[in-house]
Chain A
Amino acid sequence: MLSLKISKQLGQCALDFHCDLPGHGVIGVFGVSGSGKTSLINMIAGLITPDSGSITFAGQCFFDGNKGLNLAPERRRIGYVFQDARLFPHYTVQGNLLYGCPKEEQDKLSEVVELLGIAHLLSRFPEQLSGGEKQRVAIGRALLTQPEMLLMDEPLAALDQPRKQELLPYLKRIAKRSQIPILYVTHQQQELLQLVDELLVVSDGQVACQGTLEEVWNSPAMLPWQQAEGVSSLLLAKVMQQDERHGMTPLSLAPECHLWSSEVSLAPEQQVRLKVAAKDVALSRSKPEGTSMRNIVAATITDIEVLAQQQVMVSLNLAEQVIKAQITLWAQQEMKLQVGEQVYALIKGINLQGVAL
């Protein structure tokens, strides 16, 4: 567990972070540029000293303003992957990888090299690597220090789209295998959906919202981002046995409540994340018969919000998860929808996210 109670004045910007983060999993740190995301992890790493407060990780105090305690960065056992890789130009790839690696751990090199697919680069100098390769080496270098926490500051941001696609599978692999908590800073929703379990939204130097990815995604803190590509909901589901006859896979939200996906290569029993656009959800008072739609589920209305341009956002409770439907004001008035009523949600499209296919 990582406990933060820190404040810092950086020029015009006042930072004040209070939060407790879990000691495992991938924790997304999300926010617009200049919101203080990087300053936050720099304070955790010890590269910036807070003005006051305390930082404690797994029972060890990194910083305590009252006691005048400030552990040096090299003694915090934190791996840091910078946006710009920061490989040492005068060391080979192998030299970079082993720079912070304790002597007795050097046999882990081959494991990490294989995990990141950089065996063929070992004797090269950073100058001869592509952006994606550099970043992979930087990740390996941080992992080989045997850290107790990993910080990643927008590791994909400096890369072009093909390079991002190249690096993302490696990040997923690390996220899946990692025994240590990973703080992953980004301002890309796509990366969150692919990698993150827990999410911290940072805004104006403060924690705006914190929770599981699904909780935060469906909360008002994410609205500013959702407006660009349309509001959507995130659902967690479990893959069930595939229906061979129809070539579809049921994804269970609760016993007796499942959605169908045409994706057939999913391994049963694994958890998947579904993204459903609010515009792809229609509502009906009665269960429609004789329809081509397969995903029709009962849900309870929890909130009705009137938007601009004669639109209404209806939030529904679907097996204790949130799903949103965007309908017209006309339809809402004609159906006389009220909070607390049960309706049928007709879901046109579901997007599988962050699945290791």
Chain B
Amino acid sequence: MLTDYEWQALALSLKVSSVAVAASLPVGILVAWVLAKKEFWGKSLLNSVVHLPLVLPPVVTGYLLLLLFSRNGMLGQPLQQWFGLSFAFSWQGAALAAAVVAFPLMVRAIRQAFENVDPKLEQAARTLGASPFKVFYTISLPLVYPGILAGMVLAFARSLGEFGATITFVSNIPEQTQTLPLAMFSFIETPGAESEAARLCIIAIVLSITALLASEWLLRRNHQERR
């Protein structure tokens, strides 16, 4: 049904988005919790930095990533040296770009969920002998589960659609960094490839709807368990 080329782009998109979401989730939960529950000096600065990718033009985000994570970049060089981790022109780089761009959406959803957790329940848990850590993983975390799910879906969808920062940071290399949107861009640029572009367009729509339905189903199941 799908050509090899389409499969490649689809598989790469799914891999890049999944890795982007999975790798940024622990950090996202931590940052969301800190922003929702803690008061500290520099909180609004942290908040602004987290939200920056949401308001910056993606090309600027991509350019900054290039500065930081290229082979000679401030972070790219030590990461390569110490961990053998290279982001430049690889699918890992595409995942990093997707994660950074989707991060604010993930944090916003989870943060809101944390803010909705009644602090009275957390107080009650403390009087029942629970340490703050136990309160976090037995009360707060389970109660924000729907928010985490929503954040993951949003971040996944945003990652699937990521274009500007990716093409700037890791370029458009088939099998390496050419995700669905980038593949589609290539077809649109190629004269006479309108039908190929349209097929990719349909694949993208089906993929997004599937992700949304899956999250709906998970949320409903979570709610039913409590009845």
Contacts and interface: CB of A to CB of B under 8 A. Distances in A.
A59 B196 CA distance: 81
Contacts, number: 58
Given A90-B226, A127-B227, A47 B125 contact: no
B127 A73 contact: yes
B130 interface: yes
Interface in B120-161: 120-121, 123-131, 138-139, 142-143
Given A73-B127, A100-B128, A100-B129, A86 B226 contact: no
Given A84-B120, A88-B121, A79 B226 contact: no
Contacts of A82: 120, 124
B158 to A, nearest CB: 28
A47 B226 contact: no
Contacts of B121: 86, 88
B124 A74 contact: no
B128 A145 contact: yes
Given A90-B142, A125-B227, A127-B227, A47 B126 contact: yes
Contact of B120 (A78, A86, A99): A86
Interface in A59-80: 72-74, 77-80
| Size bracket, chain A contacts | 20 to 34
Contact of B127 (A74, A89, A128): A74
A73 B126 contact: yes
B170 to A, nearest CB: 41
A198 B55 CA distance: 63
A141 B130 CA distance: 13
A89 B130 contact: no
| Size bracket, chain B contacts | 10 to 19
Interface string B22-48: 000000000000000000000000000
Given A89-B143, A89-B226, A127-B226, A47 B129 contact: no
A128 B143 CA distance: 18
Interface string A233-260: 0000000000000000000000000000
Contacts of A99: 125, 128, 130, 138
Contact of A88 (B123, B125, B227): B125
Contacts of B227: 125, 127-128
A283 interface: no
A196 B33 CA distance: 43
A192 interface: no
A45 interface: yes
Contacts of A125: 226-227
A4 interface: no
Contacts of B138: 99
Contacts of B142: 90
A151 to B, nearest CB: 8
A80 B129 CA distance: 11
Which of A73, A78, A79, A142 has the most B CB atoms < 10 Å from its CB?
Answer: A73
A80 B124 contact: yes
Nearest to B138: A99
Contacts of A78: 127
A72 B131 CA distance: 9
Contacts of B130: 74, 99-100
A73 B127 CA distance: 6
B118 to A, nearest CB: 8
Contacts of A80: 124, 127
B128 A72 contact: no
A47 B143 contact: no
Contacts of B123: 47, 73, 86
Nearest to A102: B129
A99 B142 CA distance: 14
Contacts of B143: 89-90
Nearest to A89: B226
B226 A45 contact: no
B209 to A, nearest CB: 30
Contacts of B125: 88, 99-100
A228 to B, nearest CB: 32
Interface in A82-125: 82, 84, 86, 88-90, 99-100, 125
Contacts of A90: 142-143, 226
Give the top 4 A-B pairs by smallest Cβ distance, nearest first. Answer: A100-B128, A80-B127, A86-B124, A73-B126
Given A73-B123, A100-B130, 10 more contacts: A72-B131, A73-B127, A86-B118, A88-B139, A100-B125, A100-B127, A100-B129, A125-B226, A141-B128, A142-B127
Interface of A: 45-47, 72-74, 77-80, 82, 84, 86, 88-90, 99-100, 125, 127-128, 141-142, 145
Interface of B: 118, 120-121, 123-131, 138-139, 142-143, 226-227
